[in-house]
């Protein structure tokens, strides 16, 4: 059910881009209990000039290597679960791909289950 958008500056190889997606998917399975094969991701590269973000916010300094991750998912997970999820993604992107933890920006958008259709014009999760 999660729908993941990953936005980053041009210049990373397809292998790195796919690895970013796999790291996020693994954290969704490990931490958020997302079922296997529930993987829907769009990975988009942009010219660095298309990014417009503060160079620092809340004590975090960002570099052009920033990775924006936005995930739409069903509502209902605890704050502690979300914190563990953010940490695993930042840690794994850093250790496996060398992404600065400071440059891992994650936003969750929580929605009700009836707000999904996985095809055929059917709301598969609607009760």
Distances (CA, A) of 1 to 54, 58, 68: 31, 31, 19
Q: Which entry of 1, 2, 25, 92 is annotated as an active-site residue?
A: 2
Distances (CA, A) of 48 to 9, 51, 105: 5, 6, 16
SS3 call for 117 = coil
Sheet bearing 104-111, strands edge to edge: 40-46, 3-9, 67-74, 104-111
Residue 35 among the catalytic residues: no
Q: Which residues are known catalytic residues?
A: 2
């Amino acid at each position: 059910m999660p729908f993941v958008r990953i936005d980053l500056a041009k210049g990373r190889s397809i292998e790195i881009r796919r690895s970013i997606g796999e790291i996020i998917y693994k954290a969704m399975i490990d931490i958020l209990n997302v079922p296997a094969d529930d993987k829907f991701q769009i990975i988009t590269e942009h010219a660095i000039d298309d990014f417009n973000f503060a160079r620092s916010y809340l004590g975090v300094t960002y570099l052009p290597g920033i990775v924006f991750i936005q995930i739409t998912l069903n509502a209902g997970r605890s704050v502690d679960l979300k914190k563990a999820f953010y940490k695993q993604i930042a840690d794994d992107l850093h250790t496996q791909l060398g992404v600065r933890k400071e440059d891992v920006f994650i936003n969750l958008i929580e929605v009700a289950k009836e707000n999904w259709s996985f095809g055929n014009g059917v709301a598969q999760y609607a009760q």
